[in-house]
């Protein structure tokens, strides 16, 4: 595996790859890699000749500086995992490399209501930071395909919108959420849970499963979401939202009437043991 820390070196290398007519798949990450990340690498390998993974803990997407400071960094293990997964290239830039202009000046993307609901409501500025870093990374890597996880569904939709805004021809591939055997969605943040909390955290997945089951039976969805919120509270979580939404074009809307043929998703964010966990599930249709 090649390791590049400078974008100019990576660009030069990838120019040669493109000249030899090879396709490039790109998997951006913030490291502390687990099988969820590796499933994206595998998907990218299946569909491309060369796979580039980036590891960069992006400061501009952290609304909470403490969360940024506590973000797990396991670079040695990450390199080993990427090597074992036969990744072709790892891009490991510094903050100065990615933000020579400084952290505060930035573009303002118009992501519409996607930026103000769910994660956007609780993490102000988060998606502008995500848009800013993914835009920069795409300019450097210029991949044919970009691989992201459904685990961060709203992020996928934001990036789908970003690709339109910047007139990009990159194809976004949304990969399914990898889960632990308990059902808990794999996440770098799970490492910060105590063993007891990690067991308890599966309740988020179970709540989504119940919403899906009840939705299938035609039960009233808003009541279900409210009940799930209260149940999580009773179990010691501090939920931020339990929402059921329709996906209309690239926008998410809180469901307020029978959804017809629209894709319907349930999404949860809840704190447990000082760790913020998110998960989602498609209740009807596809992404
Ligand atoms: P992160 O390092 O958390 O920024 O995640 C990097 C990429 O991995 C994003 O596209 C995430 O959606 C994806 N990802 C994170 N967790 C999972 C998971 N459990 N299953 C599939 N993809 C995931």
Does pLDDT of 106 surpass 90? no
Ligand 1 touching residue 114 (CB < 6 A): no
- What is the per-residue pLDDT across 30-85, written as a single tens digit (0 to 9) for each? 999 999 999 999 999 999 999 999 999 999 999 888 889 989 999 999 999 999 99
Q: What are phi and psi of 98, to 5 degrees?
A: -85, -25
Distance of CA 180 to CAs 33, 199, 204, 225, 237, Å?
14, 11, 13, 24, 20
Closest CA to 165 of 153, 176, 157: 157
**What torsion do the CA atoms of 115, 138, 171, 47 make, to the nearest 10 degrees?**
-130
Cα gap 248→287, rounded to integer Å = 10
The 10s digit of each residue's pLDDT in 131-179 is: 999 999 999 999 999 999 999 999 999 999 999 999 999 999 999 999 9
Residue 277 tokens, joined: 């966990």
pLDDT level of residue 220 (50, 70, 90 thresholds): low
Residue 13 annotated to the active site? no
Is the distance from the beta carbon of residue 58 to the nearest atom of ligand 1 less than 6 Å?
Answer: no
Joined tokens for residue 22: 């090879």
Measured in Å, residue 36 CA sits from the centre of ligand 1 at: 6
Distance 201 CA to ligand 1 centre (A): 17
Q: Is any atom of ligand 1 closer than 6 Å to the C-beta of 162?
A: no
Residue 49 has phi, psi (to 5 degrees) of -80, -35
Distance 148 CA to ligand 1 centre (A): 7
Q: What predicted TM-score, i.e. pTM, was given to this entire model? A: 0.97
Report whether residue 245 contacts ligand 1, using a CB cutoff of 6 Å. Answer: no
Q: How far is the CA of 284 from the centre of ligand 1 (A)?
A: 22
Q: What are phi and psi of 15, to 5 degrees?
A: -60, -40
Domains of the chain plus CATH, in order, are 2-175 (3.40.50.620), 188-277 (3.30.1300.10)
Is 178 near ligand 1, meaning CB less than 6 Å away? yes
């Amino acid at each position: 595996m090649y390791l590049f820390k400078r974008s100019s070196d990576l660009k030069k290398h990838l120019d040669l790859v493109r000249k030899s007519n090879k396709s490039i798949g790109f998997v951006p990450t913030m490291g502390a890699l687990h099988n969820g990340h590796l499933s994206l690498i595998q998907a990218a390998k299946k569909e491309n000749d060369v796979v580039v993974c980036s590891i960069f803990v992006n400061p501009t997407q952290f609304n909470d500086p403490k969360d940024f400071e506590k973000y797990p960094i396991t670079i040695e293990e990450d390199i080993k995992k990427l090597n074992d997964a036969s990744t072709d290239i790892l891009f490991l830039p510094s903050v100065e490399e990615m933000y020579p202009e400084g952290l505060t000046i930035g573009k303002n993307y118009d992501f519409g209501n996607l930026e103000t609901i769910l994660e956007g409501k609780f993490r102000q500025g988060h998606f502008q930071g995500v848009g800013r870093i993914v835009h920069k990374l795409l300019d450097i890597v210029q991949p044919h395909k970009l691989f992201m996880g459904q685990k961060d569904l709203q992020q996928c939709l934001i990036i789908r919108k970003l690709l339109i805004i910047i007139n990009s021809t990159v194809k976004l591939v949304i990969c399914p959420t990898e889960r632990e055997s308990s059902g808990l969605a794999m996440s770098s943040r799970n490492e910060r849970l105590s063993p007891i909390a990690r067991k308890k955290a599966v309740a988020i997945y179970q709540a989504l499963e119940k919403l899906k089951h009840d939705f299938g039976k035609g039960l009233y969805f808003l009541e279900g979401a409210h009940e799930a919120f209260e149940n999580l509270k009773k179990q010691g979580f501090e939920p931020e939202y339990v929402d059921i939404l329709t996906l209309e074009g690239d926008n998410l809307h809180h469901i307020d009437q029978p959804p017809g043929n629209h894709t319907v998703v349930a999404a949860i964010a809840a704190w447990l043991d000082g760790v913020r966990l998110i998960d989602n599930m498609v209740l009807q249709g596809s992404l």
